[in-house]
Structure 1
Amino acid sequence: MGPSSYQRTASETVLQHFRRRRGSEMASTVADRAIGAIIGAAVADAAAQPMHWIYSQDKLEEILSDLEPCPEFRPQSANPFYLRKTGEQTCYGDQAYVLLESLSECGDVNVDDLTKRIYKFFGPGTVYDLPLNDPYRKKGGPKAILPIDGPWRNGSLKAFMRNVDAAKEETGCDTDCQMDGVTKLAPVVAMYAGRPEMLEKVEKAIRVTQNNDMCVAETLVAARFLEHFILNGPDPNVLNAVLAQMTDPKRQNPQELDRAVIAHINQVKDSLAKTSQQLIPAVFTNT
């Protein structure tokens, strides 16, 4: 079954879910936005993949100068770390696909099923199984020749594989705080948007590969943003709406690091009038 088949299965699941909960006219609108979130995230990941991980601001501006105003889907990859054909996913988009697949087949966040699917998709014998991607590759070995010809298996996935191999009960990496959670959350938010258990389901899915509290807290606030758009459509007041949720003492799934996340949102809010050149890397240093 190809990606389009899984998208259709997930779409039908989401649509049925909202029709049960709301009137048919409103359900179609909300369900369409939920499905759009899944497909939009996949398209955006593929569109950005040829320019993924360009950390030199000067190099990025040089490449963009030849592409504006349409930098998406660059025919030739400018990625300095790995090479995939334009239209294929990054390791982040592929994780979202596996999560979508698991939700479609199980109808819920099933940790055992998701763990097996992630390992099978990214593990031995797959396109990700390249020497530089070896989860047991020792530091200090021969210098890597970059970019590699194939996809990149990032740090959280390598740690996940080592934890699964060691039969650990908690398979998620406890040190990784990258964007995996945010980039793959669309399928689970789409399925549970408007339901009180939505954040709990997101956390459950994320901790399979990233068992890091800050990563989870940041991912949960991203889930709040996406849920707001799915339920309400475009909203220029979304920052204030989510901040109100985050400061509510009765909010769903509170985290110890929520105060730090609130500070991050306010930092973004205070920076909206500035250009990316002014903010990166001066303010958002790891962007």
Structure 2
Amino acid sequence: MTSNLPNERKPAVIAAIAGGWVADAASLGLHWLYDSPRILEVGGQSPEFLTPKADYFEGGLGYFAHDGKQTGDVSHYGAATGVLIDSLLTCIGALNIRDYQRRFRTFFGPGGQWQGYIDNPTRITLDNLNNIEQNGIKEALSTTRTTLTDTQKRILVQKVLPYTRYLTGDQLAAPVRRGIDLTYKESDIQEAGVHIAETIDQHLIAESGANDMQLPAVSKLPPLVASYCGADDLMRVTEAAVRVTNHNDEAVAWARCAARLLDNLFQGDSMSSALDAASTEAPDHQSLALARSGSSLDGPGAGETHGRTCYLHEAMPVIFHILGHARSYTEAIRANIQCGGDSCGRAWIIGPAMAAIHGVGGERGIPLSWLARVADAHTRFADIESLVNGKWRPGVQENQPSACPAQ
């Protein structure tokens, strides 16, 4: 792992990332119901872990997006965070953009594992990744010096694409030649294939995200901050990760704010101190100051004042209000759900932040019963422990991350 996290802080960071999974799953049942009175009517004072039902949205403003999901499932935000965790575990705790992009595309794209709602940044990112690759293919075919038939062009592209999605630079030539040799023995055709692969590789770019300033920019940050906690390049890495899905300057600015908040909390700062430090990174200091003012927690009121939608300029002040006023993890998660709107997106900052302070169990920590309600909890929490403790995926060696392409 690349972070400077001392051993005594690792349990708190493990609890923090677990807090993100729990908060997301707890919020799913009423996610994107914008009507706080209707939320109170449906969920009462304990609105967490409701099975998503269209009936909840009748008579209230909202969008029912999670048909078929069950109690304990997570939203697309949690799914995207899991993709980044998989990449970090494969790449020895380091952000590798090419690996992250490939896993994101494989997981959310056609034939992938994800079944559920696809948000705007994800949809556009998938389109962008495909278009970037197709532009590289066009350039490669137009510049090859070997005369190829249309059939040969199609076959060579089919041959090289699996390699360009896993390998880069000097890693490409030898395996590409071996793959082409199964069909074409001619050296000039093999060289044309290498040229195609290398040209595609050179055209792939890191900034594949949508021009979008919504919550997917920050929801995936907890495991990344855990990997780079206290590191000098945390802000650079944060920006690089965000631009994979959200290629937008305002999204990056809010992500820097969220990353600074989590970084300070993971290192043991108080909530007040961490919120102060994070505010210096924010593109709108006044809204955050207003959100932190007052003496009582009011999730619905924060939503009325700042907004309940997915946009970061609405969500981040709501997050700051809840973090600045909640006295326990449970209180914070319930206030977030009762606020309404994009509760699952906000949960990925609120949950980790509160769990970093209060841990697991007791009057203020994550309830043990809530941990047990998260779907596939064993795998999710084991991955968190592996990431924070630097126990990489089988077959991945610290000096030779062969499963992860070079940057």
* TM surpasses 0.5: yes
1:162 aligns with 2:162: no
One-letter code aligned to 1:201: V
Q: Distance in 1 between matches of 2:265 and 2:105?
A: 32
Q: Distance in 2 between matches of 1:41 and 1:119?
A: 23
Q: CA deviation at 1:89?
A: 1.5
What letter matches 2:209 in structure 1?
G
Distance 2:29 2:308 in 1: 22
Which residue is 2:43 aligned to? 64
Secondary structure at the aligned position of 1:74 is classed as coil
Q: 1:235 to 1:277 in 2, by over 3 A?
A: closer
- Give the corresponding residue for 2:249: 213
1:88-130 per-position Cα deviation (integer Å, ceiling 9, x unaligned): 21010111100011011012111110000001000002354xx
Q: CA deviation at 1:152?
A: 0.4
Per the TM alignment, residue 228 of structure 1 is displaced from its structure 2 partner at its CA by 1.0
RMSD over aligned Cα, in angstroms? 2.3
Q: Which letter maps to 1:227?
A: D
User: 1:221: Cα distance to partner?
Assistant: 0.5
Residue deviations 1:211-251 (CA, integer Å, cap 9, x gap): 111111111101111111110154344323434xx2xxxxx
Aligned counterpart for 1:51 among listed residues 30, 35, 39: 30
Amino acid paired to 2:240? K
Structure 2 unaligned segments of length 5 or more: list them: 58-63, 134-204, 310-340, 342-407
Counterpart residue number, 2:289: 266
- TM-superposed deviation, 1:261: 3.0
The 5 A counterparts of 1:1-287 are 13=1, 18=4, 27-65=6-44, 68=45, 70-77=46-53, 78=56, 80-83=64-67, 84-107=69-92, 108-126=94-112, 128=114, 151-167=116-132, 169=205, 170-174=207-211, 176-232=212-268, 234-243=270-279, 246=280, 258=281, 260-271=283-294, 273=296, 275-284=298-307, 286=309
Distance 1:47 1:164 in 2: 32
CA distance in 1, matches of 2:297, 2:226: 31
The answer to whether the 8 A contact 2:29-2:50 is kept is: yes
Gap change, CA 1:266 and 1:282, over 3 Å in 2: closer
| 1:55 partner amino acid | Y
Residue identity in the other structure for 1:151:
G
The 2-side partners of 1:178 and 1:119 are apart by 19
Structure ID, larger Rg: 2
Give the letter for the 2:83 counterpart.
Answer: V
Cα deviation for residue 82 of structure 1 reads: 2.0
**Letter of the structure 2 residue corresponding to residue 242 of structure 1:** A
The one-letter code matched in structure 2 to 1:240 is: D
User: Could you tell me whether the CA contact under 8 Å between 1:217 and 1:261 is conserved in 2?
Assistant: no
CA deviation profile, 1:25-54 (whole Å, cap 9, x unmatched): xx3321122222222212211121122111
User: SS state of the match for residue 208, structure 1?
Assistant: helix
Structure 1 Cα separation of the partners of residues 33 and 47 of structure 2 = 13
Is 1:239–1:265's contact at 8 Å kept on the other side of the alignment?
no
Verify the 8 A CA contact 2:254 2:282 in the aligned structure 1. no
Partner Cα separation in structure 2 for residue 171 and residue 195 of structure 1: 25
- Where relative contact order (Cα < 8 A, 6+ residues apart) is larger, the structure is 2
